[in-house]
Amino acid sequence: MASSSTNTYNSPCAACKFLRRKCMPGCIFAPYFPPEEPHKFANVHKIFGASNVTKLLNELLPHQREDAVNSLAYEAEARVRDPVYGCVGAISYLQRQVHKLQKELDAANADLVHYGLSTSAPGNLVDLVCQPQPLQLQQLNPVYRLSGASPVMTQQPRGTGGSYGTFLPWNIGHDQQGGNM
């Protein structure tokens, strides 16, 4: 948001005030360093220097200058707070937090899967509905039926006798006989 080079009281921009010079109508700093934010220019000047900022702003197109000044002000404030790492320190801290939280999430998901497998209940309802569960050999019970003169053994999933067993969303919280757990 660019403002005029001077406000209604004709006070100089924060840059000209800091540099103790007269703020001219075409001042390159005035639209980006209003007099109400003197600390913004003070930090930028301390880290980058006024002449470097002037050169940078003159090389940029007018529509790019506001973003550049905001970036410079952000980096300058970060450098004032943390002179060694600046905003990279904040980024590294946040990346470590994300990594730590990802590990916690993975551990929680592993616990859910373990709990789901140990209690024959699904660990995640979305996985249950969206992805069919593969049958494990230990889940199959031999069922004998007579076919002609000799018995024939077939495999059928444990549970209620159907091909879905107890892994239906409406069966969650019920044991294999259909009662409440």
* C-alpha angle 141-145-147 in degrees, rounded to nearest 5: 140
Q: How far apart are the first and last CA of the chain?
A: 63
Q: Which of 32, 63, 81 is the last residue of a domain?
A: 81
153 in any annotated domain: no
Where would I find the H helices in 60-146?
Answer: 62-81, 87-118, 125-130
Residues 73 and 92 in one domain: no
Query: Both 77 and 20 in a single domain?
Result: yes
Classify residue 6: in a domain, yes or no.
no
Q: Same domain, yes or no, for 77 and 95?
A: no
Q: What is the predicted pLDDT for the residue at 118?
A: 65
* pLDDT, position 119: 60
Say if residue 51 is exposed, middle or buried (CB neighbours under 10 Å; 0-12, 13-18, 19+): exposed
CA distance 56 to 111: 54
Domain boundary among 96, 118, 140: 118
Q: What residues make up the domain containing 102?
A: 85-118
Looking at the structure, tell me whether residues 72 and 93 fall in a common domain: no
22 touches 12 (CB < 8 A)? yes
Q: How far apart, in whole angstroms, are the C-alpha atoms of residue 141 and residue 158?
A: 6
| Cα 131 from chain centroid (whole Å) | 26
Residue 76 belongs to some domain of the structure: yes
**Is the residue at 61 inside a domain?**
yes
Domains in the chain, number: 2
**Model pTM?**
0.52
Query: Looking at residue 11, what is its pLDDT?
Result: 86
Is the residue at 23 inside a domain?
yes
Q: How far apart are CA 113 and CA 143, in angstroms?
A: 29
Domain contains 135: no
For residue 140, being part of any structural domain is answered with no
> Radius of gyration over alpha carbons of the chain, in Å?
34
pLDDT tens profile 145-165 = 444 444 444 444 444 444 433
pLDDT number for residue 127: 52
Last residue of a domain, which of 54, 81, 108?
Answer: 81
Q: Is position 112 within any domain?
A: yes
Displacement of CA 29 from its chain's centroid (Å)? 35
d(CA 142, CA 149): 19
